[in-house]
Amino acid sequence: MLSAVGPSVTVRVPAKINLHLAVGELRADGYHDLVTVFQALSIVDEISVSAAVPGAIEPGVAVTPTDGVDVDDVPTDTSNLAWRAVEALARRADRDPDVRVRIRKAIPVAGGMAGGSADAAGALLAAAGLWRLDLGRDDLMEIAADVGSDVAFALHGGTALGTGRGERLVPVLSRHTFHWVVAVADHGLSTPTVFGELDRLRARPEAPRRVGDVEPVLEALASGEAHSLALLLGNDLQAAAVSLDPGLRRTLRAGVDAGALAGVVSGSGPTCVFLCDGHDAAVRVAAELAGFGVCRTVRVAHGPVPGARVVEGDGPP
Ligand code: ATP
């Protein structure tokens, strides 16, 4: 799109949850091998990338909160993941990152829903469109994986099996739409701290039980049966998130007491997600959970939804 001052491209990009997250041993490079099933949810950030115009549009990042999200901890300097994605793409295209990135943020920050990675994926797609780069989906996925472990999934969307650090993706057949209630905490948890806590817990004699095999989860997704999937939701990071933030135990119990089929901590937490038996049930669970006072906000969402997509302006050719 040609705005009043210059061209700009806008992308919408979803949050993720992990329906299954098996964490392997610590690798020599400091990462853990993961086997995870991602699902993209209908909570989306909107990223606009505009060409910088001297005196009118300065290069950099601006963040605006939506849906009551607290953006105090989102950096607006070069450490913002969206900016790092723009820089990675500019290096690849051998040009300057002379753009302004505007983020309208609805994904909870440091919530285990990969909001920063979503913004990186959105910025990548928007900048590739703005600069009319001749890059295919595979090129973008490769750059995305370099920027961060969850960035590739934010581009991909839908439901996918992730291995490696979570960046090697295979699409998963997921019939029907699943309905979720998302309990957003009033604080964040640092992902590296949660992984560190899991390593600490696993070094003790009474190490937390690990999640089972992923195959039954894939079968439940293929059948589209929410009741079957509910029995199989599992996350190795949950014990670590609960150990760091014991109040999460109460949140998880409250969601089930409110009528959800099951609940699980999303990724490294502290967001908890609850699978419900349809949209109406999710609305009822959300209303009841909101009354329990165990979290900052409650949202209703569904998944799977598509990954990053251009909503205004041109995408990559
Ligand atoms: P993940 O699930 O991928 O581990 P998360 O959802 O727990 O991540 P994010 O919301 O991605 O966490 O943010 C983690 C930290 O990254 C924030 O505390 C913030 O300091 C930093 N950050 C950098 N860029 C962004 C961004 N665009 N949006 C949010 N946080 C960002």
Superfamily of domain 178-303: GHMP kinase, C-terminal domain (3.30.70.890)
CATH of domain 8-172: 3.30.230.10
| Per-residue confidence (pLDDT) for residue 2, from 0 to 100 | 47
Instruction: Catalogue the long-range contacts made by 243-248 (C-beta closer than 8 Å, 24 or more residues apart).
Output: 243/197, 243/201, 244/189, 244/193, 244/194, 244/197, 245/185, 245/189, 245/269, 245/270, 247/294, 248/185, 248/272
* Residue closest by Cα to atom 29 of ligand 1: 116
| Per-residue confidence (pLDDT) for residue 317, from 0 to 100 | 54
- ipTM rounded to 2 decimals: 0.95
The share of the chain scoring above pLDDT 90, in percent, equals 87
Q: Which of 45, 119, 150, 245 is catalytic?
A: 150
pTM assigned to the model: 0.94
The response to whether residue 191 sits with its C-beta less than 6 Å from ligand 1 reads: yes
The share of the chain scoring above pLDDT 70, in percent, equals 97
Q: How far apart are CA 222 and CA 315, in angstroms?
A: 31
Best residue among 74, 78, 107, 197 to mutate for probing ligand 1's pocket (most ligand atoms within 8 Å of CB) is: 74
Q: What is the pLDDT of residues 228-275, one digit of tens each?
A: 999 999 999 999 999 999 999 999 999 999 999 999 999 999 999 999
Q: How far apart are CA 107 and CA 113, in angstroms?
A: 7
| Per-residue confidence (pLDDT) for residue 315, from 0 to 100 | 64
Question: For the chain, what are the domain ranges?
Answer: 8-172, 178-303
Best residue among 109, 113, 184 to mutate for probing ligand 1's pocket (most ligand atoms within 8 Å of CB) is: 109
Q: With a cut of 50, which residues of the chain have pLDDT below it?
A: 2-3
